[in-house]
Every structure is written in structure tokens, then in C-alpha cells.
Amino acid sequence: MLRAEPPEQPPETRFLALGRHFWGGRACLRAWLLSAGIVFFLLATLAAQVGLNHWSRAFFDALEKRDLAAVWMTAGWLPLVILLSMAAATALVITRMALQVRWREWLTGAILGRWITRERAYRLPFVAPDQGAPEYRIAEDVRLAVDPLVEFAIGFLGACATAITFAAILWQVAGSTTLPLFGMAVTIPGYMALAAILYALLVTGLIALVGRPLILRVSAKNEQEARFRAGMTRLRENAESIGLLRGDPAERAAALRGFGQVAAGWFAIIRQQARVGLVLNANGALFPILPLLLVAPKYLSGALTLGAVMQVVSAFVAVQGALIWFVDNFVRIAEWYASVLRVDELLAALEEADGADGTTRVALLAHDADTIVFDRLRLVHSGGETVIADGSAVIARGEKVLMSGASGTGKSSLVRAMAGLWRKGSGRILLPRGARISFVPQQAYLPTGSLRSVLTYPAPPDSVGDALLSAALDNVGLGALAARLDDEAAWERILSGGERQRVAVARLLIQRPDVVILDEFTSALDEEGQRAMLGLLDTALADATVISIGHRPGLEQFHDRRIALEQTTRGAVFRELRAPARLGLAARARAGTPG
């Protein structure tokens, strides 16, 4: 299992520690082949640049000598040099893009696996409320962390190879120079190479000094962009409720305030980039002229030919461009680091969602008995307040138990604890080993896709035959939909709330679980629909253990027992309420009593 590195390490180190598994896992062969291809085509590109540099010297020497035959002979080599350069550069781009896509694919799968595993996606907002829009961090920040990193690695390797190669050319061709200093003649060997290195160090130092705050500015801007997108998503998902409440003006004002923060973040970046731009633009104007000024005395003295001058200038520009690689990429490095920081924060939050904070946790265990046991259960909200102070009960196999209570007594928290979604607290919940357990939330979830996939979710669509699907729809009063099993649509929007809850019951009839846990699942049904659905479960799943969370009138007649969550000064406690006169239909059938 992939794990984030220890928190004392820098974010970029933890990110790289996670990312390097791409070269050591099942995809390692592809990763190493692509990496080797990049190195090969990088060296081929460098060879083409060196060839063009030597061609430039030969061509300008021929011009200086006015040797027409030599000019045409040299020009004849140009197409070959250009062809090599084009082929190598194109192959490098293709290989680089393939590596970016494959690495991003692997890393996205790794982080998605951490997010959508062990219910972390649910717990994340509670343990790390500042981690807004994790889906944006996975979809966008992972790309922004991977794609530039590959380009940086290629650029840095290319810059090092270019600097070494062309510095050697400068050292050999330009030679040394002699300068008068304090009445003495001082000879500087390889002066053009040394000048290129010193100039690059000066510019790089200035950029690092001026541009350092840009990293924080970019990180803050990315966070504001993510929050703005999350707000727009929330607005779209709740458009109907907002329209009914006539909330358009308030939402519009909130959206504009959100974008105002985005704009403020961008203006902070613009101001910082203006400072960086002053250094970059000054460098861009100066460094093409600098080598001409430095080499001019040697040309005028006759020590260098015109071809040698052009070769030196070309090599100086190449060395300079390589050595100021950091300068040219500073803004992109800042953006990359900001994305790495956001991905690292998400990974750290996912670790925290596993309960790594050292607090006591509810033990969700399997045991060999057929009973469900709540043993001194205590549930604590994320803010630290106790919602259920003491819950102890034993539910036998096949019992239908209603758990009710006033709002705020922890009914929904109890469901989440049984599902393993919420573990903050203490005590134990024991479930039958190997039992098939189905949860039916208040808001029935319908995935986008065919109606068949909706009914079989989370099992594959082809795992259930048409006859069983049609019978289940007919039993819950949705028989008219049986003809649309293969229609793909946004069923969550097409079906009403009551119809979605009927679909949830149809799923139970298809899955036939051993344990069913219902959380206010009849809230969108009228009384007749509630009686029909609960009666259907009572007869069709007579052998299943059912725990219903609810408070609506009429629920008691479909249950054998009732456990009330009663509020006390220290939190809610379980209180057993027996109502023999209100035994459920299945219990009355077992007792031989008429319904």
C-alpha cells in the first residue's frame, strides 16, 4: 500500500517518494523504456546542435574567404543537419508526452485508490475541512505536478549536457585572453566559458531573490480557484432549491465575492511577476550582445576568423541558455511547487482520515454469532462533543428493530458507525461474520448510466438477469420502467425522491442481504408508499435482520422492537421500548396472528 512519507520531510520530497513507485511497480518496464527513449533522443538533439554549431563556423569561414565552392559544399550539409535536428526533437516531444500521460495515469490511480478506499472520501471533510475540492486536486493538480516535472527533468538534463558540451567548445575555440591589471598582464584561460558561468550565476541569484515570494502567491491563487469551482458546483447541484427560495441574488453576490478572491490572488501574482519580468527582460536584451562584445577584441586582432566568432557567439548563447535554465523556468517551478504542495496536503489529509491522530476509535468487528451487538458504544463528533454517550444492545438474527430519537441524538451517526464511515469514539460494534449487509441512506444514490447498472449497483450490470430486475421493479411499483433497463440517463434527476427510494428497495429485493440498515429511507414517500415498501421488506426479506432509523408515525407496526435514543446531559443513551401489541407483519405471521 502506498503511504505518504513522514511529515518532517519537505512536500516535494514526499511527492517524489510516492511518484518514484512508477519506476518500480508493474508499470516499471514501460516507465524505463520511455525514460531511456527520452535520454537517447535528448542526446541526439544535442548532437544535432553541435553539428549545427560546427556547420556555422565552416559556412562563415567560407563566406569570409569568398570561396563559392566551399559555400555551396557547406550548404549541402545543412538539410542533413536540419533533418537530424527535426527528427530528434520530434521524437523527444512524443516520448516526453507519452511519459507524462503514463506517469499521470499511474499517479492518479494511486491517489484515487487512497481517496476512494476505506470510506476516506466521506471522512475527509470532517478531519480536514480546509481540503476543499479534492477532486480538483486529483484531476488538475496531479497533472500540474507531473507534466512540468517531466519537462523540468528533461530541461535540466539537457541544460547540463549543453552547458558542458558548449563550454568545452568555448574553451577550445575562444581560448584565453590577456588583460592589464594593476600594471600586470593577467591571462584568463577559457575566458568566454568563465564569463558565461559568472553571468548565469548573477542572473540566477537575482531571480531567486526577487521571485521567491511567487511560490506562496501561486499556491494561494490555486486554492482560491479550487474554492471558486467548488462553489459553482454546489450552486449547480442545488439550482432547484435556490430557485424555489428566490436565492439568486444572494448566490450571485456570493459567487462574485468568490471570484473577487480569485482576482485578488491573480493580481498578487501579477505584481510579483512584474518584478521577476524586469530581471528576465533585462537579461533577454543583454545576453545576445554580451558575447559579441567579449569576442570582438580577438576578432579585430586577427586571432579569430569570422567563422570562429560566429561559433563562439553561438556556443556562448547555448551555454548561457543552459545555465540560466532556472531563470527561464522560475515561474513554472513556482506553479509546479504550488501544485505539489496541494497534492501533498491531500495525501496528508487522507492519512489523517484513517484516524492517525491517536484518538480512541470505535471497533467495528466481525464475530461468529448471528447477532448484532452494540457494546458500550460512544460516538464523538469532529468538534469533540459526545453525540452518543452509551449504546448497548443485542439484536438477534431476523429481528426488525426500529431505532428512533429526536433530532441531534445521533441516529445518522449510528448508521455511519455501523458502516465504518465514522470511527471517532469508543466501544464496539459486532456484526455477523460473512453476513451480506446493505445500507439504504435517506438520499438514495443512483449512479449515472443504464437503469440496469442503477439496479445492480455496486455489482456489475450483467450480474443479474432481466427477469429478476423486471420483477423487482414491478414489486416496488415501478414496473413501467422495466422496458428501459438499457437506457442510459441521469436517473438521479429523472426520478423523484419517492421513486429513488423505491429503486433502493428494488436493489434490496435483488441483492437479498442478510442485514439491512435503513436510514430514514421512507422520508420521501407518503404514508401509503411507506406502508407498501416496509410491508414488502417485511415479507420478502422476512429472514433478514433489519435496523430502521426513523421517527415518522406508523413505523412501529413493521418492527418487533424499538430502541429509543434519549438525550441526556452527557449525550444520547439507548433505551429499550417494547411494544408487543405492535409486532411487525413478519413476527405476526410467525406467531400465527392475522394481519
Model pLDDT, residue 197? 77
**Partners of 545 in beta bridges:** 515
Last residue of a domain, one of 333, 353, 373: 353
Give which of 390, 412, 163, 200 is closest to 286, Cα–Cα: 200
What total of structural domains would you count in the chain? 2
Residue 170 lies in a domain: yes
Give which of 555, 451, 427 is closest to 502, Cα–Cα: 451
What DSSP character marks residue 361? B
Query: Which domain range does residue 553 map to?
Result: 363-446+495-591
Model pLDDT, residue 131? 57
Same domain, 270 and 389: no
**Residue 455, all three cell numbers:** 439496479
Look at residue 127 and tell me whether its pLDDT is greater than 70: no
* Cα dist from 461 to 22, 447, 452, 454, 484, whole Å: 32, 12, 6, 8, 14
Same domain, 253 and 400: no
Residue 381 lies in a domain: yes
The answer for 117, left when phi > 0, alpha when psi is -120 to 50, beta otherwise, is: beta
**Phi, psi for 414 (deg, rounded to 5):** -65, -40
Model pLDDT, residue 591? 44
Same domain, 249 and 129: yes
Average pLDDT over residues 250-258: 85
**Partners of 394 in beta bridges:** 373
Indicate the range of 89-98, 128-137, 309-318, 463-472 predicted with least confidence: 128-137
**Partners of 562 in beta bridges:** 402, 577
More confident position, 428 or 558 = 428
Last residue of a domain, one of 353, 382, 405: 353
Same domain, 151 and 125: yes
| 590 band by pLDDT with thresholds 50, 70 and 90 | very low
C-alpha dihedral, 553 to 554 to 556 to 557, nearest 10°: 170
Residue 332 lies in a domain: yes
Average pLDDT over residues 173-193: 69
More confident position, 451 or 353 = 451
**Phi, psi for 329 (deg, rounded to 5):** -110, 10
Same domain, 186 and 71: yes
* Cα dist from 41 to 91, 158, 315, 388, 397, whole Å: 7, 10, 21, 64, 68
Same domain, 389 and 323: no
**Residue 401, all three cell numbers:** 428493530
Residue 33 lies in a domain: yes
With a CB cutoff of 8 Å and minimum separation 6, the contacts of 169 are 50, 53, 311, 312, 315
**Partners of 438 in beta bridges:** 516
| 118 band by pLDDT with thresholds 50, 70 and 90 | low
481-520 burial, b at 16+ Cβ within 10 Å, e below that, comes to bbeebeeeeebeeebeebbbbbbbbbbbbbbebbbbbbbb
Residue 113 lies in a domain: yes
| 391 band by pLDDT with thresholds 50, 70 and 90 | confident
Same domain, 125 and 101: yes
Length reported for the chain: 595
Mean pLDDT of the chain: 77
The model carries a pTM of 0.56
C-alpha span between 431 and 375 (Å, rounded): 11
Average pLDDT over residues 192-214: 76
Model pLDDT, residue 581? 47
Helix (H), strand (E) counts: the chain: 21, 14
Domain CATH code at residue 540: 3.40.50.300
221: amino acid identity, one letter? K
Range among 207-216, 291-300, 364-373, 519-528 rated most confident = 364-373
**Phi, psi for 290 (deg, rounded to 5):** -55, -50
Are 174 and 192 a contacting pair, CB within 8 Å? yes
**Residue 514, all three cell numbers:** 442478510
Are 190 and 174 a contacting pair, CB within 8 Å? yes
* Cα dist from 446 to 9, 450, 453, 489, 556, whole Å: 42, 10, 9, 10, 28
**Angle between helix 142-174 and helix 68-115 axes, rounded to 10 deg:** 150
Average pLDDT over residues 82-93: 82
C-alpha span between 171 and 479 (Å, rounded): 86
Q: How far is CA 551 from the centre of its chain?
A: 39
Look at residue 594 and tell me whether its pLDDT is greater than 50: no
Range among 275-284, 363-372, 585-594 rated most confident = 363-372
Model pLDDT, residue 373? 92
Last residue of a domain, one of 301, 328, 353: 353
Predicted confidence (pLDDT) per residue in 456-482, tens digit: 888 888 888 889 989 989 988 888 888
Residue 52 lies in a domain: yes
More confident position, 240 or 425 = 425
Q: Where are the alpha helices (DSSP H) in 420-571?
A: 451-456, 466-475, 491-494, 497-511, 527-540
Are 321 and 291 a contacting pair, CB within 8 Å? no
Domain CATH code at residue 263: 1.20.1560.10
Range among 103-107, 158-162, 364-368 rated most confident = 364-368
Average pLDDT over residues 50-71: 72
Look at residue 408 and tell me whether its pLDDT is greater than 70: yes
Are 145 and 238 a contacting pair, CB within 8 Å? no
Same domain, 316 and 375: no
C-alpha span between 474 and 96 (Å, rounded): 55
Residue 477 lies in a domain: no
**Phi, psi for 272 (deg, rounded to 5):** -70, -40
Residue 1 lies in a domain: no
Same domain, 298 and 371: no
**Partners of 546 in beta bridges:** 400, 516
C-alpha span between 356 and 140 (Å, rounded): 27
Same domain, 272 and 230: yes
Average pLDDT over residues 156-184: 72
Same domain, 441 and 329: no
Report the run of H or E that residue 366 belongs to, with start and end.
strand 363-367
Same domain, 392 and 430: yes
**Partners of 384 in beta bridges:** none
C-alpha span between 347 and 307 (Å, rounded): 57
Predicted confidence (pLDDT) per residue in 491-511, tens digit: 888 888 888 888 888 988 888
